[in-house]
Amino acid sequence: MLYYSNDKGETWQEFTGIQSLPSKKSWSFPPRPTTHHVRFITTSYSNEDYLGVAIEAGAFIYTTNQGGTWNDRPEDSPIDIHTLLTHPKSPKKLYAACGDGIYNKAHSYAESNDEGQSWQYKSSGLENHPYAYHLAINPNDPSDQIISAAKSPSAAHSIYKYSAVYRKQGESSWVDISEGLPENHSSNHHLAADPTDFGAFYAMNNYGIYHLASGASKWEKLELDWQEKYVNQRPSCFLIEED
């Protein structure tokens, strides 16, 4: 279900049109196959009435008129988008880190140039870790992206296995840039771009927060009061805010 509010959260109403989409009968979240959920919601830099929605697992759907009508899963679109981003310098473009790579290694990462009507897969380099989860984009350069990825869903969601981070710049393939991050095991890395130091990024896992300086090739762990109890927990959200 997806809800909206027109009064700053005082009351909420459901976008009921989602329930009648033809693809809904195939939506299924693998750990609990009789369920599914909204995984990600993104807005548009070109249309204030637009919403793109990722259903885990089963579909990417979108509306161009504030939910008055919904467009069902476009042909060859991802069915398991984990992170769905837009960028002000590419206002009609969508960027998606996908779990689809466990079914087809060519489908770990996808882009759309028309806000989801059609999709292109650009996953070269991610073959060793095809299950992609988090994504961050350079605020000044939408062609500069980093992605966290693992060999499988179990590896991505465990704190005892291994996830990697890759970087893609321009039309080049993805390149593993995990040096400096935990080598043997950690939770998957939640990623964020530095809002002022363009080209710098952050990664958070159960061991703490790591920084990749602009132009650097190795992550450095930040000196924080990171409590021991956090090592046995898996982070679920990470934001970097301009001071």
> What HEC string does 41-108 produce?
EECCCCCCCCEEEEEECCEEEEECCCCCCCECCCCCCCCCEEEEEEECCEEEEEEEEECHHHCCHHHC
Q: Is the pLDDT of residue 174 over 90?
A: yes
Q: Is the pLDDT of residue 242 over 80?
A: no
Provide the 8-state DSSP code for 223. -
Distance, in Å, from the CA atom of 173 to the CA atom of 96, rounded to the nearest integer, reads: 16
Determine the pLDDT at residue 187.
85
Q: Is the pLDDT of residue 233 over 90?
A: no
User: φ, ψ for residue 198 (rounded to 5)?
Assistant: -60, 130
**Whole-prediction pTM:** 0.93
Determine the pLDDT at residue 160.
80
Determine the pLDDT at residue 241.
82
Distance, in Å, from the CA atom of 198 to the CA atom of 142, rounded to the nearest integer, reads: 11
Instruction: Please compute the mean of the pLDDT values over residues 49-55 and round it to a whole number.
Output: 96
CA angle 159, 131, 89 (to 5 degrees): 110
Give per-residue pLDDT as tens, 202-224.
999 999 999 999 999 999 999 99
Give per-residue pLDDT as tens, 18-28.
999 999 999 98
Q: Mean pLDDT score of the chain, rounded to an integer? A: 93
Banded pLDDT at 161 (limits 50, 70, 90): confident
Give per-residue pLDDT as tens, 184-197.
788 889 999 999 99
Banded pLDDT at 232 (limits 50, 70, 90): confident
Give per-residue pLDDT as tens, 76-121.
999 999 999 999 999 999 999 999 999 999 999 999 999 999 999 9
Domains (range + CATH), the chain: 15-232 (2.130.10.10)
Report the share of the chain in percent with pLDDT over 70. Answer: 100
Tell me the longest C-alpha to C-alpha distance in the chain.
50
